[in-house]
Homo-oligomer: A and B are copies of this chain.
């Protein structure tokens, strides 16, 4: 079952992150790191674990990129939540790092989590071949930096002061960077560990990532703050273009469903073995959190 697999992988990833961080002294920055990686669905880490299973990669290897992508994702959330960025007080139903500690600590926590992400894929325990570790780390850099996630964030900020709302094409490009790139990296990681063809998982995750963002935009309109665990309705309040504002609620739902179908089609070379990943694609558009 998908939800069981998600829960089991999330717990395993959480244990690994605790293990890695337990050798550090009890300073606010380290406590903030532990706090920031605790909880959450850990969907990105789950994609790593499942992509690795498809290629018979041992879990003891897959856990490293799975934990790494959760550290990178957590770093981006901690910095995004800062008052000078999205200014959010709540994340996963709990105070954000800068609310629980302070802004300076949150900056350092995010910085150290990014570094930790790279350290984990480069750990010799991640894979015996340095070539594979270097490939994971370089692709992680491309997915998260100025050509990936940060580019998407920069486009997002630029859009706020632009004269006209974004077009569907522009918002799709923005999303491909801001949330898509890490999702694609997550799904590909198992194939990278196995030195296998990345294409089916790339295509799967590209469609999945877009569906995920459309679902997020729908949740921002329809979701309940207590369930979602963070502020909702912010995009509409700001008059920001979203997939919902551009396609309408029904159109957005339809587009998300088409993308999930495309995602599942991409995995046809794997046959029945891809069932959990197919279920995951259904999940991202039906979740309420």
Does residue A56 face the partner (Cβ distance < 8 Å to B)? no
CB pair B154–A108 under 8 Å, yes or no, is: yes
CB pair A119–B134 under 8 Å, yes or no, is: no
Give complex CA distance A168, B112 in Å.
26
A: interface residue count bin: 35 or more
Q: In the complex this chain forms, how many copies of it are found? A: 2
Least CB distance from A79 to B in Å reads 5
Does residue A107 face the partner (Cβ distance < 8 Å to B)? yes
Least CB distance from A32 to B in Å reads 9
- Closest Cβ neighbor of A107 among chain B residues: B79
Does residue A46 face the partner (Cβ distance < 8 Å to B)? no
Contacts of A131 in B (CB 8 A): 130-131
CB pair A146–B112 under 8 Å, yes or no, is: yes
Question: Which of B75, B107, B146 is in CB contact (< 8 Å) with A24?
Answer: B146
Give complex CA distance A23, B102 in Å.
36
Question: Which of B103, B137, B158 is in CB contact (< 8 Å) with A137?
Answer: B137
Does residue A84 face the partner (Cβ distance < 8 Å to B)? yes
Give complex CA distance A104, B85 in Å.
5
In A110-140, the 8 Å CB interface with B consists of: 110-112, 114-116, 118-119, 122-123, 129-131, 133-135, 137-138
CB pair A118–B141 under 8 Å, yes or no, is: yes
Given A134-B130, A138-B119, verify A146-B30 contact (CB < 8 Å). yes
Q: DSSP majority for the A interface?
A: helix
CB pair B122–A138 under 8 Å, yes or no, is: yes
CB pair B157–A28 under 8 Å, yes or no, is: yes
Interface bits A251-279 vs B (CB < 8 Å: 1, else 0): 00000000000000000000000000000
Contacts of A151 in B (CB 8 A): 24-25, 27, 29
CB pair A108–B150 under 8 Å, yes or no, is: yes
Contacts of A219 in B (CB 8 A): none
Give complex CA distance A76, B107 in Å.
10
Does residue A144 face the partner (Cβ distance < 8 Å to B)? yes
Contacts of A129 in B (CB 8 A): 130
Give complex CA distance A129, B133 in Å.
12
CB pair A154–B122 under 8 Å, yes or no, is: no
Contacts of A115 in B (CB 8 A): 114, 141, 144-146, 150
Question: Which of B21, B28, B141 is in CB contact (< 8 Å) with A122?
Answer: B141
14 A-B pairs besides A111-B114, A122-B141, A137-B137 with CB distance below 8 A are A24-B146, A29-B146, A29-B154, A82-B104, A84-B102, A85-B104, A104-B157, A110-B111, A112-B146, A114-B114, A115-B144, A116-B145, A118-B137, A122-B137
Question: Can you give 8 A-B contacts (C-beta < 8 A)?
Answer: A28-B154, A30-B146, A104-B157, A111-B150, A112-B150, A115-B150, A118-B141, A119-B142
Query: Which 3 A-B residue pairings sit nearest by Cβ, starting from the closest?
Result: A115-B145, A84-B103, A119-B141
